[in-house]
């Protein structure tokens, strides 16, 4: 059985992960409005992954006899100064999420909650990947530039992203 504290903290993480999806959908809409469909595609793939993250916490609470409670979402920003500005905001957001995952891992240690600890190990590794993938886009924008053919090339490159599975093999909605 999951503890009340862990249940509350994971319910809050469902909110953070779902807000992440909402934020990246908003960034996708911004990129579409600028004619940057490749970057919009990258953000939609990212939003889909975030929904999968929320679902993992949802399933974990449920499988351990807890009660899921969905909290209200804030309205995400919808305008940025440039593609770099949007991806910088995405990086800052991922750093915030990394902090939240670390807080959950600390709580699992404090409560000697091994089941949560094992589940959170996946998220600790995932956050390394999440920050790295945004950093790679920022590197690409630095190299290609944010105008003319360079920006078009970066946009085409990001169009190649293949969305990952929402949940791992064997796990169902």
Q: Do 61 and 8 form a contact (C-beta atoms < 8 A)?
A: no
Structure tokens at 135: 């950093």
Residue 17 sits in the site that holds ligand FEO (CB under 6 A): yes
Q: Residue from 10, 28, 86, 97 that binds ligand FEO (CB under 6 A)? A: 97
- Min CB(161)–ligand FEO separation in Å: 14
Residues 133-172 that bind ligand FEO (CB under 6 A): none
Q: Residue from 28, 47, 80, 94 that binds ligand FEO (CB under 6 A)? A: 94
Q: Do 121 and 104 form a contact (C-beta atoms < 8 A)?
A: no
Name the one residue in this structure whose structure tokens are 């911004």. Answer: 30
Name the one residue in this structure whose structure tokens are 């993480």. Answer: 13
Q: Do 111 and 5 form a contact (C-beta atoms < 8 A)?
A: yes
Rounded to 10 deg, the angle between the 4-33 and 83-110 helix axes is 170
- Min CB(167)–ligand FEO separation in Å: 13
Residue 53 sits in the site that holds ligand FEO (CB under 6 A): yes
Other beta carbons within 10 angstroms of residue 118's beta carbon come to 10
Q: Judged by CB under 6 A, how many residues of this single chain contact ligand FEO? A: 7
Q: Residue from 11, 50, 58, 137 that binds ligand FEO (CB under 6 A)? A: 50
Question: Quick one: which of 43, 50, 51 has its CA closest to 86?
Answer: 43
Residue 15 sits in the site that holds ligand FEO (CB under 6 A): no
Q: Which is nearer to ligand FEO, 104 or 107 (CB)?
A: 104
Residues of this chain that interact with ligand FEO (CB under 6 A) are: 17, 20, 50, 53, 94, 97, 130
């Amino acid at each position: 059985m999951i503890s009340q504290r862990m249940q509350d903290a994971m319910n809050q993480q469902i909110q953070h992960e779902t807000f992440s999806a909402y934020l990246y959908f908003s960034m996708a809409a911004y990129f579409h409005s600028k004619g940057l469909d490749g970057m919009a595609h990258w953000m939609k793939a990212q939003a889909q992954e975030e929904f999968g993250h929320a679902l993992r916490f949802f399933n974990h609470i449920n499988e351990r006899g807890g009660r899921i409670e969905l909290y209200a979402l804030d309205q995400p920003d919808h305008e940025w100064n440039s593609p770099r500005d949007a991806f910088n905001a995405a990086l800052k957001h991922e750093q915030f999420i990394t902090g939240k995952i670390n807080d959950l891992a600390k709580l699992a240690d404090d409560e000697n909650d091994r089941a949560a600890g094992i589940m959170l190990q996946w998220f600790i590794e995932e956050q390394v990947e999440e920050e790295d993938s945004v950093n790679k886009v920022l590197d690409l924008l630095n190299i290609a530039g944010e105008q003319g053919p360079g920006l078009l090339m970066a946009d085409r490159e990001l169009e190649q992203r293949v969305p990952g599975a929402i949940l791992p093999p064997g796990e169902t909605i």
